[in-house]
Amino acid sequence: MSARRIFSRPARFAAIAPYVWMVLFFLVPFAFVAKISLSQTAIAQPPYTPVFSLAGGWSSLSDAFAALSPDNFRLLLSDDLYLSSYLRSVVVALTSTAILLLIGYPIAYGMARLPRRWQGIAMMLVIIPFWTSFLIRIYAWVNILQHDGLLNQILLALHLVSTPVVWLSTDSAMYVGIVYSYLPFMILPLFATLTKLEPALEEAAADLGASPREIFWLVTFPLSLPGVGAGSLLCFIPIVGEFVIPDLLAGSKSLMIGQTLWLEFFTNKDWPVASSIAVVLLVVLLLPLLLYDRLQRRQLEESR
Amino acid sequence: MADDIATPEPAAEPTPSPEPRPDPQPPILRIENVVKTFGSFRAVDGVSLDIRAGEFFALLGPSGCGKTTLLRMLAGFETPDEGRILLSGEDIAQVLPHERPVNMMFQNYALFPHLNVRDNIAFGLRRAGMPRAEITTRVAEMVALVRLEGLEKRKPDQLSGGQKQRVALARSLARRPQVLLLDEPMAALDKKLRESTQFELMELQRRLGMTFIIVTHDQEEAMTVASRIGVMKAGKLEQVAVPRRLYEEPASRWVAQFVGDINLFEGEVTAREPHRLRVSTASAGELVAAQPVAPIDESKVAVAIRPEKIRLALRRPAGDAAAINCVEGIISDTSYLGGKTVYKIRLDGGAAIHAAQANTARLDADGYGLNQRVVAWFTPDDCVVLER
Ligand SMILES: Nc1ncnc2c1ncn2[C@@H]1O[C@H](COP(=O)(O)OP(=O)(O)O)[C@@H](O)[C@H]1O
Ligand SMILES: [Mg+2]
């Protein structure tokens, strides 16, 4: 009895810790953002109305509640700028995730097949870029891709092109930056699932007459799908909200939603619209998460 | 190594003939001097073996002696560094695993976790390009064969250990391979289930007429299922023989001790009579053993006697001509095992021997008591003289 009391307290705390974390660092800030998204801009400090204040008593609070309106969300729907930004973000994130998967999968597959003592080294090589600031690494790409940058110098020296190619401020440059930055997030979950795969399964498939290609598509790949899902989500979600990479590497013709949000917040000083963009973005990102969750749950149920 | 290529003897035959009889048909599988090294370690060290079509062969040996490695070379997952493997007379060194008419049942079954029972069994058939209707029939046949009806839609982790084992068996049998390799197929089952499965496996093999090669470290299992057993030690084949011969005529001290329990008396040959061999031993004095079929060249030998062939008495059996080998000692330990009781006897010479007595009478199963002085005796015919 007493033993249970001793052990149950930390255990109970461990069980609620994630919820405490979630309330403190997600729900509370999100409530602020959601409230601002329902406010109107004002030339004031803070730059929106209404402001909830307990000093004015109950009547001023209820007035403030009455002043909240979903106007900003209507604006998001009516103005093409926002819709196209969302769309571009999703398209860029989907395309990047697909490219990341195409590049990351073979790398993770190769790593998983290295002798064990080489795997640690390979993993280090994947992680090492994180030791340098993200911003510096993106600026390095600016350097490489600019008009007289390294890439053009090499191309010119090899006589592959006769005049410098415009790389910077193109979508290609942005994709290079995104794929470069997010590759580890794709590789690591894939590597984790692929190393856990029992080698005997592939041998059993070979034994039963499967060619190497069939072994991959019928055994290895289906069994690595949890890693594919995890890696894709880990890349897709932050890429949708990506701001720095498109800002530094892509042109300014069309914006991703992160850039639009930044413009609203810092240039237009329109906190309410910026907040409503953020709220919608969250809802958009929740969709793939819920989908993934449902898929996993179904898989679990199937195997029960 | 006694390379026994005789057909499995009927149990009634008293002593197997020493000369190998001419082979009625060429072996389905011929392993010639196969060597496999990992770095500088020779996991399989010059193994030669013929397997006949339709036989149930067991590779028996302690863990780490190279059984799995040898089996994996037969399946094509490892390539021999030296030697050849001939299947139906053809060298299969260059034949990839997925092209060999050989299937393997893996040690931990290696069932595909994302496929249900039916798709696991159908996997090999689909790869062979079998028509749909035929696959359905064959899978149903296999499911019935291993008695898995009603579980076709289950995934492997919804099955018990015994059921998984059956799926693995059905999957590896579905393609009707010429040779089926089984790597410790019953290691994960509990004792009772293992025993019933052993008999089912034998029954199955007889019914299908397929060649089975089973790997096991369990000598009882090997003796139960196999018509012939190859005993491996440190990458080498120590002896290949039918179970009875392996037990009654072990080729070396090591085999004698690995297969069942045995008492060894080390000594020196003092006299060679026409049918008898006199051996002077330190622990049991002079022992008389029947002359083995193969002549003994060494003078330093061991006289080996199985515990159940030792008879116990309270005093020396008088006038019994058979009781030439007679030792005395004190019972230092008894283990009652139900069907038999094993006595540990400390001989006057200092050595300890085991003697097993069958408990044939229910009310008289107590036998001898601890610290009782007994005489242990055995006939020359029950002794085996070992050179190696
Ligand atoms: N791929 C490998 N690399 C290095 N050593 C191996 C490898 N496979 C097996 N061995 C070694 O070869 C020996 C025989 O292994 P194995 O054939 O699996 O034995 P068994 O099946 O008889 O228990 C063991 O000592 C094992 O450590
Ligand atoms: Mg093994």
Query: Tell me: the pLDDT tens digits for B163-219?
Result: 999 999 999 999 888 899 999 888 878 888 888 888 888 888 888 888 999 999 888
**Residues B183 and B299 grouped into a single domain:** no
Predicted local confidence at residue A124, as pLDDT: 92
Closest alpha carbon within chain A to B122: A208
Could you tell me if B164 lies within 8 Å of chain A, comparing CB atoms?
Answer: no
Domain ranges, ordered by start, for chain A: 79-303
**Residue B1 above 50 pLDDT?**
no
Question: Which CATH number characterizes residue B168's domain?
Answer: 3.40.50.300
B107, B113, B127: residue with CB nearest A208: B127
Question: Cα–Cα distance between A293 and A291 in angstroms, integer?
Answer: 5
**Residues B199 and B297 grouped into a single domain:** no
**Residues B118 and B211 grouped into a single domain:** yes
Say if the Cβ atoms of A204 and B99 lie within 8 Å. no
Find all residues with CB under 8 Å of B280, minimum gap 6, and list them.
B267, B268, B270, B286
Give me B384's structure tokens: 């085996």
**Residue B283 above 90 pLDDT?**
no
Measured distance between the N- and C-terminal CA atoms of chain A, rounded to whole angstroms: 34
Give me B265's structure tokens: 């008396």
Lowest mean pLDDT, pick from A195-209, B4-18, B154-168, B209-223: B4-18
The β-bridge relationship of strands B56-60 and B228-233 is parallel
Say if the Cβ atoms of B127 and A201 lie within 8 Å. no
- Decide if B104 is inside a domain: yes
**Residue A304 above 70 pLDDT?**
no
Which of B223, B248, B273 marks a domain boundary? B248
Question: Cα–Cα distance between B240 and B243 in angstroms, integer?
Answer: 9
Predicted local confidence at residue A10, as pLDDT: 66
Lowest mean pLDDT, pick from B29-33, B48-52, B64-68, B369-373: B369-373
How distant, in Å, are the alpha carbons of B66, B219, B226, B371 from that of B59?
Answer: 10, 10, 9, 41
**Residue A145 above 60 pLDDT?**
yes
**Residue A212 above 80 pLDDT?**
yes
Where is pLDDT greater, at B323 or A253?
A: A253
Dihedrals phi, psi of B260, to nearest 5 degrees: 80, 180
Predicted local confidence at residue B185, as pLDDT: 87
Helix (H, G, I), strand (E, B) or coil at B33: strand
**Residues B148 and B227 grouped into a single domain:** yes
**Residues B341 and B242 grouped into a single domain:** no
Amino acid present at A281: L
Output the DSSP codes for A38-97: TSEE-SSSSSEE----STTHHHHHHHHHHH--THHHHHHHH-HHHHHHHHHHHHHHHHHH
Predicted local confidence at residue B11, as pLDDT: 42
Partners of residue B108 in chain A, C-beta under 8 Å: 198, 200
Residues B249-273 have a mean pLDDT of 86
Partners of residue B112 in chain A, C-beta under 8 Å: 201, 204-205, 219
Question: Cα–Cα distance between B91 and B59 in angstroms, integer?
Answer: 21
Residue indicated by tokens 């030690």: B233
**Which of B47, B67, B69, B231 to mutate to test ligand 1, by most ligand atoms within 8 A of the CB atom?**
B69
**Residue A184 above 90 pLDDT?**
yes
Where is pLDDT greater, at B309 or B8?
A: B309
Is the beta carbon of B67 within 6 A of some atom in ligand 1? yes
- Decide if B4 is inside a domain: no
Partners of residue B154 in chain A, C-beta under 8 Å: none
Where is pLDDT greater, at B367 or B347?
A: B347
Is the beta carbon of B199 within 6 A of some atom in ligand 1? no
* Mean pLDDT (chain A, rounded): 88
Say if the Cβ atoms of B157 and A207 lie within 8 Å. no
Closest alpha carbon within chain B to A226: B114
- Ligand 1 mean position to B66 CA, how many Å? 6
**Residues B150 and B174 grouped into a single domain:** yes
**Residue A183 above 90 pLDDT?**
yes
**Residue A41 above 60 pLDDT?**
yes
Fold classification of A79-303 is MetI-like fold (1.10.3720)
Cis peptide before A47 (omega within 30 of 0): no
Residues A189-212 have a mean pLDDT of 92
pLDDT tens digits for range B51-94 = 998 899 999 999 889 999 999 999 888 888 998 888 888 888 77
Question: Cα–Cα distance between B350 and B266 in angstroms, integer?
Answer: 13
Where is pLDDT greater, at A6 or A109?
A: A109
Residues B98-123 have a mean pLDDT of 90
Residue indicated by tokens 């079929």: B293
- Decide if B7 is inside a domain: no
Predicted local confidence at residue B5, as pLDDT: 46
Which of B198, B222, B248 marks a domain boundary? B248
**Residues B225 and B295 grouped into a single domain:** no
Query: Which residues of A fall below an 8 Å CB-CB distance to B?
Result: 198, 200-201, 203-211, 214, 218-219, 222-223, 302-304
Residue indicated by tokens 């898995």: B148
- Decide if B186 is inside a domain: yes
- Decide if B296 is inside a domain: yes
pTM of this structure: 0.79
Which of B248, B280, B308 marks a domain boundary? B248
If one counts the domains in chain B, the total is 2
Measured from the CA of B71, which atom of ligand 1 is nearest?
A: 17
The range of the structural domain enclosing residue B329 comes to 261-380
- Decide if B116 is inside a domain: yes
Is the beta carbon of B65 within 6 A of some atom in ligand 1? yes
Predicted local confidence at residue A6, as pLDDT: 53
The CA-CA-CA angle for residues B75, B35, B49, to 5°, reads 65
**Residues B230 and B371 grouped into a single domain:** no
Instruction: Determine how many CB atoms are found less than 10 A away from the CB of residue A242.
Output: 23
Give me A9's structure tokens: 């307290």
Lowest mean pLDDT, pick from A82-86, A139-143, B2-6, B265-269: B2-6
**Residue A11 above 80 pLDDT?**
no
pLDDT tens digits for range A249-265 = 987 778 899 999 999 99
Predicted local confidence at residue A108, as pLDDT: 95
Reported as a pLDDT band with limits 50, 70 and 90, residue B17 is: very low
Residues B367-371 have a mean pLDDT of 81
- Decide if B206 is inside a domain: yes
Question: Cα–Cα distance between B152 and B117 in angstroms, integer?
Answer: 5
Residues B39-54 have a mean pLDDT of 89
Question: Which CATH number characterizes residue B345's domain?
Answer: 2.40.50.140
Nearest to B369 by CA among B337, B339, B344, B388: B344
- Decide if B108 is inside a domain: yes
Question: Cα–Cα distance between B195 and B66 in angstroms, integer?
Answer: 25
Instruction: Determine how many CB atoms are found less than 10 A away from the CB of residue B1.
Output: 16
Give percent of chain B above pLDDT 70.
91
Amino acid present at A130: F
